[in-house]
Structure 1
Amino acid sequence: MFKKAQRELDTCRAEKAALQAELDAIKAHIANITFTPDGIITDVNDKLLNIIGYTADEVIGQHHRAVCFDETSQAPSYQQFWQSLAQGKAQKGVFRRRHQSGAEIWMEATYVPIKDANGKVVSIRKLAADVTQQYQDARRQEAILAAINRSLAVIEFEPDGTIIRANDNFLAAVGYQDHEIKGQHHRMFCDQDFYDENPDFWANLARGQFTSGQYLRRDKYGNEVWLEATYNPVFDAKGNVHRVIKFATAITDTVKQNQAVNQAAELAQASSEQTLRHSENGSALLQEAVKLSQSVNDQAVEATNQVAQLSEHAQSIENIVTTIKQIAEQTNLLALNAAIEAARAGDQGRGFAVVADEVRGLSQRTSHSTTEIADVVDENQQLIKGVSEAMERVTEQSTIGQEKVTAADTVMSDIHAGAEEVSATVRRLTQ
């Protein structure tokens, strides 16, 4: 009997040693802290002290609330938390706690009630791990995803294009409810032309090939929907694509505006090219007009010069007529004197008198004719003067006209240059 008792004692000692070894291993490698059932700290290891930033002397004997924020310790759920532990109900989760510096820390922990032989809870042991960085990273990722969901249209697919889910922005863009698209294929949004032109679209995504661009899709009612989108393969731990996430922005209004701008630009280009052709034709016509105006001006100057010469010739004729008239008057006077002398001579001078009479008649007719010629010459002089003045005005107006035509040609050249620049600019915009 003694030996049996000894064996049982040895077994108990071995079990105790094993349990103590396990406990020592836990204390050495896992952050842990021990509380009374009502939350007073009785023991704490260095790993947990490193997490909360306190020394053992600063926390032993203090209540658990010393490492909690007021909004946690003053909440009704906090009292319920310790009541549940005191009743032997373990608690686990990710808990927000306060570092000695006042900073926020997060611990993934399990609070384990320790019972005595009678089943009474005698202490609470907490095993914990610092997950502050992971929690903050997760919160940042959640914030990013929330921001993406607020601002972008998001839809998830199986690698073969079967729809898993879509957010409200995507559903609003295509006009469907979630249950109407879940389990359907991506092609429900596409024209057949898209798959004719991209037969390996989903096969490439399933191989992990990212793709992006502007895509024409159809909403529930068949209306055009333009999306600026990226299709992003998501890999599992083995490196296989297990889903595809599409991030998109609806750009229908922008695309239609761009199409309208392009149409306007094409019209502007056609108009500018037509203006360019018209300006080229106008410039050519003006060049001809300049040459014609120059020719008219030259001819007007030549005519003015000829009129001036004609005026000089008329003046010469007038001088000659005056001379002839003077000769006729002298001849008439001589004939008169001859007639007087013939009368004095009697019958001997009768023949001479006849000749003198004829000469006098001729001189009178000559005088009369020269008077008529003088009148005609005078009238011609007046006409030539009028013509000369008119030609001077014509020449002056022709010169002014030539200057204006030349100025118009310069303006047309500027218009032509401007039309060329506009045409070139519009051409660049439409390329």
Structure 2
Amino acid sequence: MLFNRTQSNKPNASLQQLLEYSRKLVVDAERNEVNELSTVETDLQEYAEIVSNVNKAIHIRNQKNEALTLRLSMLNQVMNIGVWESNIVAGDPLDRNNKVSFSDEFRRMLGYVNAEDYPNEFASWAKSVNPEDRPQLVQAITENVNSPKETAPYNVMSRMILKGGEVRWFRCLGQVVRNSEGVPIKLLGIMFDIHDQKTESDELEALVTRYDLVNRALVEAPWDMTVVAGDVVNPNNEFWWSPQFRRELGFKDESDFPNVFSSWSSRLHPEDHDRTINAFAEHMNDYSGRTPYDLDYRLQRKNGEYRWYHAGGETVRDNNGVPLRVAGTIRDVTHEKNKAQVVEAMNRKTEQLSESISEMVRGINSITDQAQELVTAQELSAEAATQVKVSADETKNITTFIREIASQTNLLGLNAAIEAARAGELGLGFGVVAGEVRKLADHSSDATVNIEDSMHAMKTLIDQILDHIGNMSTLTQNQAALTQQVNASMDEINTMSQDLVNFSRNL
């Protein structure tokens, strides 16, 4: 701004000119256009010094402003940051009447060139924000401005629509500026392009999610350890127990299951502890990499229950075979272990059942054999009884014969008595009768012998019948005992069958 030269040396005129310039200076400053004050011919030494000091201050300020602008521009270009600011009218940061200004880098990031292409208006910013993200961004800005006290800058990820229609992710940060009374007067904001990082992060998150889902689907709980200087027992070795690993053992997070070796080793079953630790050490210390890490062991869950787990792992080694990193998984195999035990028990029970069935078959065969012997004994008894009947018939015939002899003997005796009575002393006829009686007596003696022989044979046959009957009694008793054994075997088979049913239910 230039003042007209004047010959007036009046102090009031000079002061008036200075006052007018100061007012204009305020207006230009608001427009960010500050010009130096032209020198005025005056006899007032103070006026000339004021003009010189003002010009000097303006020059210094312009230099610093240029340096600051250049520095900010370079910083924005290097860091790819866009800056904007807005004066707040009536406490509303989103009032369309607010004066807004955007840096050149801000415009360039959105694909615009200058203020004509992207005016310093609220509408410019509003149309650039993706409609889906605008509510979240507006809420963050509003909360930051309306907070009754100083708060941290708002920090929101939002998609911005570029001039060509492309949508990219930006991180938007800002902070409200307040006057001495705490009233918000200005809002300063920056944004920088995070699209590539966000895309990579989303892809990584998708991979992590996929990895987590795969782990859940496979019922595998992963873990990881970084080996320091190849020392597998180094206390500085960094462990990572996955969330699945912790959940599998009933824990929530690192607070109750820290990322240290002892979190796992202290929960090994006492019977499996040394075996498991040795297996891990042998795998790690075998620089050839030929010793696998693949075994089953028991771990104690948070509730105190021990369960079986199958563990496996692989190790990354350097060129010399020194372990650098090891990762592995565990999988609950308690059901499989229980199933194997049940199968083993069923096999034992089946073998016992087979033995019982074989014993039962042998018993049944023995019963059959003895039944056959019993039939044979019965046949022999029948034959003996038949012979007894024949002998009895013969004895009957002999008895009949003896009866006839007795009859004849009585008749002869009668005749002899008659003849003796007639003859008196003459006994010649008696002699004849007596001879006949002797013959009959002889026949009677022979018949008696035959009777004794027949009776002896009958006694022998009767003894045989008694022996056979005794044998039949013994066989009958044995058969009863074998029947009891068969019944006991059947009871045992029934019990084992019930055990097999119970085992099957546990499978």
TM-score normalized by the length of structure 1: 0.51
User: Are the aligned partners of 2:299 and 2:309 in contact in 1 as well (CA < 8 Å)?
Assistant: yes
Verify: 1:201 aligned to 2:264, yes or no: no
Q: C-alpha displacement at 1:201, in angstroms?
A: 1.8
User: Are the aligned partners of 1:211 and 1:232 in contact in 2 as well (CA < 8 Å)?
Assistant: yes
Q: C-alpha displacement at 1:108, in angstroms?
A: 3.5
Counterpart residue identity of residue 136, structure 2: T
User: Are the aligned partners of 1:276 and 1:419 in contact in 2 as well (CA < 8 Å)?
Assistant: no
Alignment of structure 1 residues 204-219 onto 2, 5 Å: 212-215=294-297
Give the counterpart of 1:353 among 411, 425, 430. Answer: 430
Relative to structure 1, is the Cα distance of residues 133 and 140 closer, same or farther in structure 2, using a 3 angstrom cutoff? same
Q: Which residue in 2 is equivalent to 1:332?
A: 410
Relative to structure 1, is the Cα distance of residues 370 and 108 closer, same or farther in structure 2, using a 3 angstrom cutoff? same
Cα deviation code 1:251-291 (max 9, x no counterpart): 6x769x749x73x7767766665665566566556645543
Q: Which residue in 2 is equivalent to 1:107?
A: 169
User: Are the aligned partners of 2:296 and 2:309 in contact in 1 as well (CA < 8 Å)?
Assistant: yes
Q: C-alpha displacement at 1:352, in angstroms?
A: 1.9
Give the counterpart of 2:330 among 248, 256, 262. Answer: 248
Cα deviation code 1:121-141 (max 9, x no counterpart): 999785535456544434445
Relative to structure 1, is the Cα distance of residues 275 and 66 closer, same or farther in structure 2, using a 3 angstrom cutoff? closer
Q: Which residue in 2 is equivalent to 1:158?
A: 226
Counterpart residue identity of residue 193, structure 2: A
Identity %: 13
Alpha-carbon distance in 1 for matches of 2:365, 2:257:
75
Relative to structure 1, is the Cα distance of residues 326 and 208 closer, same or farther in structure 2, using a 3 angstrom cutoff? closer
Alignment of structure 1 residues 249-328 onto 2, 5 Å: 258=338, 262=341, 273=351, 280=358, 283-284=361-362, 287-288=365-366, 290-328=368-406
Could you tell me which runs of 5 or more consecutive residues in structure 1 were left unpaired when the two chains were aligned: 1-18, 50-55, 84-90, 100-104, 114-120, 423-431
Alpha-carbon distance in 2 for matches of 1:326, 1:183:
124
Verify: 1:95 aligned to 2:177, yes or no: no
Alignment of structure 1 residues 20-419 onto 2, 5 Å: 60=124, 62=126, 67-69=131-133, 72-73=136-137, 75=139, 77-79=140-142, 95-97=157-159, 107-109=169-171, 126-130=191-195, 133-140=199-206, 155-159=223-227, 160=230, 161=232, 162=234, 163-167=237-241, 170=246, 182=260, 191=273, 193-194=275-276, 200-202=282-284, 212-215=294-297, 227-231=309-313, 243-248=325-330, 258=338, 262=341, 273=351, 280=358, 283-284=361-362, 287-288=365-366, 290-348=368-426, 350-356=427-433
Cα deviation code 1:68-105 (max 9, x no counterpart): 54651453x3236689xxxxxxx897614499xxxxx8
Relative to structure 1, is the Cα distance of residues 46 and 364 closer, same or farther in structure 2, using a 3 angstrom cutoff? farther
Q: Which residue in 2 is equivalent to 1:53?
A: none
User: Are the aligned partners of 1:108 and 1:130 in contact in 2 as well (CA < 8 Å)?
Assistant: yes
User: Are the aligned partners of 1:336 and 1:356 in contact in 2 as well (CA < 8 Å)?
Assistant: no
Alpha-carbon distance in 1 for matches of 2:257, 2:415:
146
User: Are the aligned partners of 2:420 and 2:430 in contact in 1 as well (CA < 8 Å)?
Assistant: yes
Alpha-carbon distance in 2 for matches of 1:250, 1:177:
23
Alpha-carbon distance in 2 for matches of 1:177, 1:31:
39
Alpha-carbon distance in 1 for matches of 2:110, 2:286:
49
Instruction: Count the aligned residue pairs.
Output: 358
TM-score normalized by the length of structure 2: 0.45
Alpha-carbon distance in 2 for matches of 1:200, 1:241:
12
Which structure would you say has the larger Rg? 2
Counterpart residue identity of residue 406, structure 2: A
Relative to structure 1, is the Cα distance of residues 365 and 140 closer, same or farther in structure 2, using a 3 angstrom cutoff? same
Counterpart residue identity of residue 403, structure 2: K
User: Are the aligned partners of 1:110 and 1:127 in contact in 2 as well (CA < 8 Å)?
Assistant: yes
Counterpart residue identity of residue 328, structure 1: A
Q: C-alpha displacement at 1:347, in angstroms?
A: 3.7
Relative to structure 1, is the Cα distance of residues 195 and 177 closer, same or farther in structure 2, using a 3 angstrom cutoff? same
- Name the structure, 1 or 2, with higher relative contact order (CA <8 Å, separation 6+): 1
Relative to structure 1, is the Cα distance of residues 92 and 208 closer, same or farther in structure 2, using a 3 angstrom cutoff? farther
Query: What is the RMSD computed on CA atoms of the aligned residues?
Result: 7.0
Counterpart residue identity of residue 238, structure 2: I
User: Are the aligned partners of 1:212 and 1:231 in contact in 2 as well (CA < 8 Å)?
Assistant: yes
User: Are the aligned partners of 2:222 and 2:328 in contact in 1 as well (CA < 8 Å)?
Assistant: yes
Relative to structure 1, is the Cα distance of residues 197 and 309 closer, same or farther in structure 2, using a 3 angstrom cutoff? same
Q: C-alpha displacement at 1:345, in angstroms?
A: 4.0
Relative to structure 1, is the Cα distance of residues 195 and 205 closer, same or farther in structure 2, using a 3 angstrom cutoff? farther
Q: C-alpha displacement at 1:344, in angstroms?
A: 2.7
User: Are the aligned partners of 1:336 and 1:360 in contact in 2 as well (CA < 8 Å)?
Assistant: no
Cα deviation code 1:330-365 (max 9, x no counterpart): 3422442344245334444x1322553675698699
Cα deviation code 1:156-196 (max 9, x no counterpart): 42234344245586599699988987488998888555565
Relative to structure 1, is the Cα distance of residues 182 and 420 closer, same or farther in structure 2, using a 3 angstrom cutoff? closer
Alpha-carbon distance in 2 for matches of 1:205, 1:415:
61
Relative to structure 1, is the Cα distance of residues 376 and 96 closer, same or farther in structure 2, using a 3 angstrom cutoff? farther
Cα deviation code 1:231-254 (max 9, x no counterpart): 35589xxxx986434443566x76
Could you tell me which runs of 5 or more consecutive residues in structure 2 were left unpaired when the two chains were aligned: 1-69, 88-92, 112-117, 147-152, 162-166, 176-185, 499-507
Relative to structure 1, is the Cα distance of residues 298 and 202 closer, same or farther in structure 2, using a 3 angstrom cutoff? same
Counterpart residue identity of residue 323, structure 1: F
Task: Please give the secondary structure, in 2, of the residue aligned with 1:67.
Answer: coil
